Amino acid sequence: MKFFLGTHLQHWLREVDVPLFVSRRRLVRVQTPPRAVTDWALDSGGFTELSMHGTFTVSALAYAAEVRRFSDEVGRMVWAAPQDWMCEPWIVAKTGLSVVEHQRRTVDNFLTLRAELGPLVIPVLQGWSLEDYDRCADLYASAGIDLAAESTVGLGSVCRRQATDEIGQIVSAMAGRGIRCHGFGVKSDGIALYGHLLTSCDSLAWSYSGRRGGTCTHRKSRCANCLHYALAWRTRVLAAARRPRQMEFDMAGAS
Protein backbone atom coordinates (compact mmCIF):
# COMPACT_ATOMS: atom_id res chain seq x y z
CA MET A 1 0.00 0.00 0.00
CA LYS A 2 1.28 3.44 -0.98
CA PHE A 3 0.57 6.12 1.62
CA PHE A 4 0.20 9.75 0.53
CA LEU A 5 0.77 12.21 3.36
CA GLY A 6 -1.87 14.91 3.06
CA THR A 7 -0.64 18.49 3.36
CA HIS A 8 -2.10 21.98 3.14
CA LEU A 9 1.44 23.36 2.74
CA GLN A 10 2.21 23.22 -0.96
CA HIS A 11 5.88 24.15 -0.50
CA TRP A 12 6.43 20.69 1.00
CA LEU A 13 6.41 19.43 -2.58
CA ARG A 14 9.93 20.79 -3.03
CA GLU A 15 11.14 19.77 0.44
CA VAL A 16 9.75 16.35 1.37
CA ASP A 17 10.77 12.97 -0.05
CA VAL A 18 7.62 11.01 0.88
CA PRO A 19 4.51 10.81 -1.34
CA LEU A 20 2.16 13.76 -0.78
CA PHE A 21 -1.53 14.50 -1.33
CA VAL A 22 -2.17 18.17 -2.17
CA SER A 23 -5.41 20.02 -2.89
CA ARG A 24 -5.82 22.14 -6.03
CA ARG A 25 -7.30 24.79 -3.72
CA ARG A 26 -3.79 25.29 -2.32
CA LEU A 27 -1.89 25.19 -5.60
CA VAL A 28 -4.11 27.73 -7.36
CA ARG A 29 -3.14 30.29 -4.73
CA VAL A 30 0.47 30.48 -5.89
CA GLN A 31 1.60 32.03 -9.15
CA THR A 32 4.61 29.76 -9.50
CA PRO A 33 3.94 26.29 -8.08
CA PRO A 34 6.85 24.48 -6.39
CA ARG A 35 8.80 21.91 -8.37
CA ALA A 36 8.20 18.49 -6.79
CA VAL A 37 11.00 16.30 -5.51
CA THR A 38 8.57 13.50 -4.66
CA ASP A 39 5.58 11.67 -6.12
CA TRP A 40 2.25 13.27 -5.33
CA ALA A 41 -1.46 13.11 -6.12
CA LEU A 42 -3.91 15.97 -6.62
CA ASP A 43 -7.13 16.36 -4.65
CA SER A 44 -9.84 18.27 -6.52
CA GLY A 45 -11.04 19.91 -3.30
CA GLY A 46 -14.48 18.45 -3.88
CA PHE A 47 -15.51 18.06 -0.26
CA THR A 48 -14.81 21.72 0.46
CA GLU A 49 -16.54 22.84 -2.74
CA LEU A 50 -19.70 20.86 -2.04
CA SER A 51 -19.84 21.56 1.68
CA MET A 52 -19.40 25.31 1.13
CA HIS A 53 -21.30 25.86 -2.12
CA GLY A 54 -23.41 22.76 -2.78
CA THR A 55 -21.78 22.50 -6.22
CA PHE A 56 -18.45 22.89 -7.97
CA THR A 57 -17.48 26.48 -8.71
CA VAL A 58 -14.86 25.36 -11.26
CA SER A 59 -15.94 23.78 -14.54
CA ALA A 60 -14.59 20.41 -15.61
CA LEU A 61 -12.67 21.96 -18.50
CA ALA A 62 -11.14 24.65 -16.27
CA TYR A 63 -10.13 21.99 -13.75
CA ALA A 64 -8.59 19.91 -16.55
CA ALA A 65 -6.50 22.92 -17.58
CA GLU A 66 -5.31 23.32 -13.99
CA VAL A 67 -4.37 19.64 -13.79
CA ARG A 68 -2.32 19.90 -16.97
CA ARG A 69 -0.55 22.99 -15.66
CA PHE A 70 0.24 21.40 -12.30
CA SER A 71 1.45 18.22 -14.00
CA ASP A 72 3.79 20.20 -16.26
CA GLU A 73 5.01 22.85 -13.81
CA VAL A 74 5.16 20.84 -10.58
CA GLY A 75 6.08 17.50 -12.13
CA ARG A 76 5.88 13.98 -10.68
CA MET A 77 2.06 13.97 -10.41
CA VAL A 78 1.00 10.33 -10.09
CA TRP A 79 -2.69 10.99 -10.63
CA ALA A 80 -5.43 13.55 -10.14
CA ALA A 81 -8.81 12.97 -8.53
CA PRO A 82 -11.87 13.97 -10.55
CA GLN A 83 -14.49 16.41 -9.31
CA ASP A 84 -16.46 13.63 -7.67
CA TRP A 85 -19.69 14.21 -5.74
CA MET A 86 -19.44 12.89 -2.17
CA CYS A 87 -22.41 10.95 -0.79
CA GLU A 88 -22.23 11.66 2.95
CA PRO A 89 -25.81 12.39 4.12
CA TRP A 90 -24.93 15.95 5.16
CA ILE A 91 -23.40 16.65 1.75
CA VAL A 92 -26.42 15.20 -0.05
CA ALA A 93 -28.63 17.40 2.15
CA LYS A 94 -26.51 20.41 1.21
CA THR A 95 -26.85 19.85 -2.54
CA GLY A 96 -30.51 18.82 -2.38
CA LEU A 97 -29.81 16.01 -4.84
CA SER A 98 -30.01 12.23 -4.48
CA VAL A 99 -27.16 9.76 -4.03
CA VAL A 100 -27.96 8.41 -7.50
CA GLU A 101 -27.61 11.90 -8.99
CA HIS A 102 -24.32 12.41 -7.16
CA GLN A 103 -23.08 9.16 -8.68
CA ARG A 104 -24.23 10.11 -12.17
CA ARG A 105 -22.45 13.47 -11.93
CA THR A 106 -19.32 11.76 -10.62
CA VAL A 107 -19.17 9.40 -13.59
CA ASP A 108 -20.02 12.14 -16.11
CA ASN A 109 -17.27 14.38 -14.73
CA PHE A 110 -14.75 11.56 -14.90
CA LEU A 111 -15.63 10.85 -18.54
CA THR A 112 -15.12 14.51 -19.43
CA LEU A 113 -11.79 14.65 -17.61
CA ARG A 114 -10.58 11.31 -19.02
CA ALA A 115 -11.21 12.66 -22.52
CA GLU A 116 -9.09 15.71 -21.66
CA LEU A 117 -6.39 14.18 -19.46
CA GLY A 118 -6.22 10.50 -20.31
CA PRO A 119 -5.12 8.12 -17.53
CA LEU A 120 -3.79 10.99 -15.41
CA VAL A 121 -7.28 11.29 -13.90
CA ILE A 122 -8.62 8.32 -11.94
CA PRO A 123 -12.23 7.14 -11.58
CA VAL A 124 -13.81 7.41 -8.15
CA LEU A 125 -16.54 5.20 -6.73
CA GLN A 126 -19.10 7.11 -4.71
CA GLY A 127 -21.90 5.88 -2.50
CA TRP A 128 -22.88 5.24 1.09
CA SER A 129 -23.92 1.58 1.30
CA LEU A 130 -22.30 -1.36 -0.46
CA GLU A 131 -25.32 -1.43 -2.78
CA ASP A 132 -24.60 2.19 -3.69
CA TYR A 133 -20.98 1.47 -4.60
CA ASP A 134 -22.06 -1.52 -6.69
CA ARG A 135 -24.49 0.73 -8.55
CA CYS A 136 -21.75 3.29 -9.16
CA ALA A 137 -19.49 0.54 -10.53
CA ASP A 138 -22.30 -0.45 -12.88
CA LEU A 139 -22.54 3.14 -14.13
CA TYR A 140 -18.86 3.05 -15.03
CA ALA A 141 -19.30 -0.31 -16.76
CA SER A 142 -22.24 1.05 -18.78
CA ALA A 143 -19.97 3.92 -19.87
CA GLY A 144 -17.33 1.46 -21.07
CA ILE A 145 -14.95 1.86 -18.12
CA ASP A 146 -13.51 -1.41 -16.79
CA LEU A 147 -12.61 -0.50 -13.21
CA ALA A 148 -10.61 -3.70 -12.75
CA ALA A 149 -8.33 -2.56 -15.59
CA GLU A 150 -7.60 0.80 -13.90
CA SER A 151 -4.36 1.11 -11.91
CA THR A 152 -6.14 3.11 -9.18
CA VAL A 153 -9.81 3.68 -8.38
CA GLY A 154 -10.70 6.16 -5.65
CA LEU A 155 -13.13 5.08 -2.94
CA GLY A 156 -15.05 8.13 -1.79
CA SER A 157 -17.22 9.03 1.20
CA VAL A 158 -15.23 6.87 3.63
CA CYS A 159 -13.16 9.41 5.59
CA ARG A 160 -15.48 10.03 8.54
CA ARG A 161 -16.28 6.33 8.99
CA GLN A 162 -12.93 4.96 7.87
CA ALA A 163 -12.41 2.62 10.84
CA THR A 164 -15.79 0.86 10.68
CA ASP A 165 -16.54 -2.71 9.70
CA GLU A 166 -18.95 -1.27 7.11
CA ILE A 167 -16.10 0.34 5.18
CA GLY A 168 -13.99 -2.77 5.66
CA GLN A 169 -16.71 -4.80 3.97
CA ILE A 170 -16.94 -2.32 1.09
CA VAL A 171 -13.16 -2.31 0.59
CA SER A 172 -13.09 -6.10 0.73
CA ALA A 173 -15.93 -6.38 -1.78
CA MET A 174 -14.16 -4.06 -4.24
CA ALA A 175 -10.88 -5.96 -3.81
CA GLY A 176 -12.76 -9.19 -4.47
CA ARG A 177 -13.88 -7.73 -7.79
CA GLY A 178 -10.28 -6.96 -8.72
CA ILE A 179 -10.63 -3.20 -8.21
CA ARG A 180 -7.47 -1.54 -6.87
CA CYS A 181 -8.80 1.09 -4.49
CA HIS A 182 -7.33 4.26 -3.08
CA GLY A 183 -8.95 5.14 0.25
CA PHE A 184 -9.48 8.86 0.76
CA GLY A 185 -8.77 10.02 4.29
CA VAL A 186 -7.98 6.59 5.76
CA LYS A 187 -6.01 6.82 9.01
CA SER A 188 -4.26 4.32 11.27
CA ASP A 189 -7.38 2.53 12.56
CA GLY A 190 -8.73 1.95 9.06
CA ILE A 191 -5.32 0.91 7.76
CA ALA A 192 -4.98 -1.64 10.56
CA LEU A 193 -8.36 -3.11 9.61
CA TYR A 194 -8.16 -3.26 5.82
CA GLY A 195 -5.03 -1.44 4.63
CA HIS A 196 -3.66 -4.63 3.06
CA LEU A 197 -6.68 -4.59 0.71
CA LEU A 198 -5.96 -1.05 -0.55
CA THR A 199 -3.58 -0.03 -3.31
CA SER A 200 -3.04 3.34 -1.64
CA CYS A 201 -4.57 5.87 0.73
CA ASP A 202 -4.03 9.38 2.03
CA SER A 203 -4.64 11.33 5.21
CA LEU A 204 -4.26 14.87 6.56
CA ALA A 205 -5.27 13.78 10.07
CA TRP A 206 -1.83 14.62 11.46
CA SER A 207 -2.63 18.34 11.22
CA TYR A 208 -5.85 18.04 13.25
CA SER A 209 -4.06 15.90 15.81
CA GLY A 210 -1.17 18.33 15.97
CA ARG A 211 -3.46 21.32 16.39
CA ARG A 212 -5.36 19.74 19.26
CA GLY A 213 -2.62 18.09 21.23
CA GLY A 214 0.63 17.56 19.43
CA THR A 215 3.76 19.11 20.88
CA CYS A 216 6.97 18.78 18.93
CA THR A 217 10.01 17.43 20.72
CA HIS A 218 12.13 20.29 19.41
CA ARG A 219 9.89 23.20 20.39
CA LYS A 220 7.02 24.05 22.72
CA SER A 221 4.21 24.66 20.28
CA ARG A 222 1.27 23.01 18.59
CA CYS A 223 2.06 21.03 15.48
CA ALA A 224 -0.69 21.67 12.91
CA ASN A 225 1.87 22.89 10.35
CA CYS A 226 4.96 21.00 11.48
CA LEU A 227 6.81 18.68 9.12
CA HIS A 228 8.65 17.03 12.02
CA TYR A 229 5.34 16.07 13.65
CA ALA A 230 3.76 15.03 10.32
CA LEU A 231 6.58 12.63 9.48
CA ALA A 232 6.54 11.09 12.97
CA TRP A 233 2.75 10.63 12.64
CA ARG A 234 3.26 9.02 9.22
CA THR A 235 5.75 6.56 10.72
CA ARG A 236 3.15 5.49 13.29
CA VAL A 237 0.47 5.06 10.59
CA LEU A 238 2.73 2.89 8.45
CA ALA A 239 3.60 0.81 11.50
CA ALA A 240 -0.13 0.12 11.89
CA ALA A 241 -0.25 -0.97 8.24
CA ARG A 242 2.38 -3.61 8.99
CA ARG A 243 0.27 -5.02 11.83
CA PRO A 244 -3.10 -5.78 10.18
CA ARG A 245 -5.85 -7.08 12.42
CA GLN A 246 -7.74 -10.27 11.69
CA MET A 247 -10.99 -9.37 9.98
CA GLU A 248 -14.26 -11.18 9.59
CA PHE A 249 -14.92 -9.37 6.32
CA ASP A 250 -11.76 -10.36 4.42
CA MET A 251 -13.62 -12.31 1.78
CA ALA A 252 -16.86 -10.30 1.78
CA GLY A 253 -18.14 -9.88 -1.75
CA ALA A 254 -15.22 -11.80 -3.26
CA SER A 255 -17.42 -14.18 -5.18
The domain ranges of the chain are 2-241
pLDDT at residue number 247: 53
pLDDT digits (tens, 9 = 90+) for 74-86: 999 999 999 999 9
Query: What kind of fold does domain 2-241 have according to CATH?
Result: TIM Barrel (3.20.20)
- Please name every residue paired with 217 in a beta bridge, in sequence order, or none if there are none: none
In the prediction, which pLDDT does 89 show?
96
Instruction: Please give the C-alpha separations between residue 184 and each of 124, 126, 130, 228, 237, in angstroms, as whole numbers.
Output: 10, 11, 16, 23, 14
pLDDT at 218 over 60: no
**Percentage with pLDDT > 90 across the chain:** 74
Confidence at residue 101, expressed as pLDDT on a 0 to 100 scale = 98
CB-based contacts of 236, cutoff 8 Å, min separation 6? 188
Instruction: Count other Cβ atoms within 10 Å, centred on residue 112.
Output: 18
Lowest mean pLDDT among 2-6, 103-107, 119-123, 230-234: 230-234
- Residue 209, pLDDT > 70, answer no
- pLDDT of 226 reads 85
d(CA 26, CA 136): 29
Contacts of 108 (CB under 8 A, 6+ apart): none
Phi-psi category of 71—alpha, beta or left, where left has phi over 0 and alpha has psi -120 to 50? Answer: alpha
Q: Which one-letter amino acid corresponds to residue 55?
A: T
For residue range 164-195, list pLDDT tens digits in order: 889 999 999 999 999 999 999 998 889 888 99
